[in-house]
């Protein structure tokens, strides 16, 4: 009779970083990571052990944990993800925090999220600012389907999802208190594209021309036409792009510029307002 595999043994033999192994086994068992610690000596059912082994093998081959489980936490919200969308990352929470500081807490406001993906930015803002009306734009219908499902799951009804390429789908007379965007900003040919999770993510959500700034050029140049007086543009950019993005903001007439660092201390977000 084959020896039964315990929770502890399955985790130890997975050949994964401990956090990845714990997340995947908790997913298979429908438990949380705290449960795994408390039940380390429990034996796994054969079907669960097999399911975990298959997921562990796929993770060892490089597939992102978020795609294997179909979800990722962002700003305290559980979001559905699949390979049609970029996986929300902690550094983008810096952008949300900056945008929230620009929005009133107790009165109505309007927010535009360009390149919505999973809806992470739009939904986090809507969750924190219930009186805000948020419009989230993405050119990918598959991404919008995920974003709409996330809004439904979270019962957030103040977000409107629109298909379009940046400002193309935004009426010319619309004006917003905040325009936020985490656009593609990786340079074509960047060696990081062949490493880690990004190998499995949609290229269109990552790459923006030879220097990675093509999308940011479009957004920064046009944003002023869609901002209310005293409105803010807040964008995420690459780890080495702060100076270039600042120059784009200045060239488009933005002032009161703010550069914000992510949790690793890397300049990651630029904010500015016109005038």
Tens digits of per-residue pLDDT, 190-224? 888 888 888 999 999 999 999 999 999 999 999 99
Kindly tell me the sign of the dihedral angle through the C-alpha atoms of 192, 197, 200, 201.
Answer: negative
- Gap between the Cα atoms of 172 and 226, Å rounded: 7
Query: Among candidates 71, 131, 136, 77, which has minimal Cα distance to 100?
Result: 131
| Residue that the structure tokens 């900056």 belong to | 98
Which pair of structure tokens corresponds to residue 67? 């795609």
Model pLDDT, residue 3: 64
Residues in the chain with pLDDT values less than 70: 1-3
Query: Among candidates 105, 251, 117, which has minimal Cα distance to 180?
Result: 117
H or E element in which residue 72 lies = strand 71-74
- Gap between the Cα atoms of 158 and 81, Å rounded: 21
Model pLDDT, residue 1: 39
In 3-state terms, what secondary structure has residue 140?
Answer: coil
Partners of 176 in beta bridges: 227
Q: What is this structure's pTM?
A: 0.91
Model pLDDT, residue 106: 84
φ, ψ for residue 104, nearest 5 deg:
-65, 150
CB distance 272 to 242 below 8 Å: no
Model pLDDT, residue 145: 97
- Gap between the Cα atoms of 258 and 246, Å rounded: 9
Kindly tell me the sign of the dihedral angle through the C-alpha atoms of 165, 219, 233, 198.
Answer: positive
Model pLDDT, residue 209: 94
């Amino acid at each position: 009779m084959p020896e039964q595999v315990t929770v502890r043994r399955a985790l130890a033999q997975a050949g994964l970083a401990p956090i990845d192994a714990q997340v995947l086994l908790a997913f298979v068992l429908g438990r949380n990571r705290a449960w795994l610690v408390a039940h380390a000596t429990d034996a796994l059912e054969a079907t669960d052990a097999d399911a975990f082994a298959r997921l562990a093998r796929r993770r060892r081959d490089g597939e992102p944990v978020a795609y294997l489980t179909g979800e990722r936490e962002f700003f305290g919200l559980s979001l559905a993800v699949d390979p049609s969308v970029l996986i929300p990352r902690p550094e983008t929470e810096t952008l949300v925090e900056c945008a929230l500081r620009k929005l009133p807490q107790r009165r109505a406001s309007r927010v535009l999220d360009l390149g919505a993906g999973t809806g992470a930015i739009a939904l986090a803002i809507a969750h924190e600012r219930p009186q805000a009306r948020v419009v989230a734009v993405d050119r990918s219908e598959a991404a919008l389907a995920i974003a709409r499902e996330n809004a439904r799951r979270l019962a957030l009804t103040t977000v409107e999802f629109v298909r379009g390429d940046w400002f193309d789908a935004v009426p010319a007379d619309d004006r917003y208190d905040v325009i936020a965007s985490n656009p593609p900003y990786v340079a074509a040919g960047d060696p990081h594209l062949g490493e880690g999770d990004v190998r499995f993510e949609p290229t269109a959500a990552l790459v923006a021309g030879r220097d990675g700034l093509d999308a940011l050029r479009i957004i920064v140049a046009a944003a002023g036409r869609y901002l209310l007086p005293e409105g803010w543009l807040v964008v995420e950019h690459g780890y080495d792009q702060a100076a270039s993005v600042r120059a784009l903001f200045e060239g488009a007439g933005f002032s009161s510029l703010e550069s914000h660092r992510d949790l690793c201390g890397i300049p990651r977000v630029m904010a500015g307002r016109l005038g």
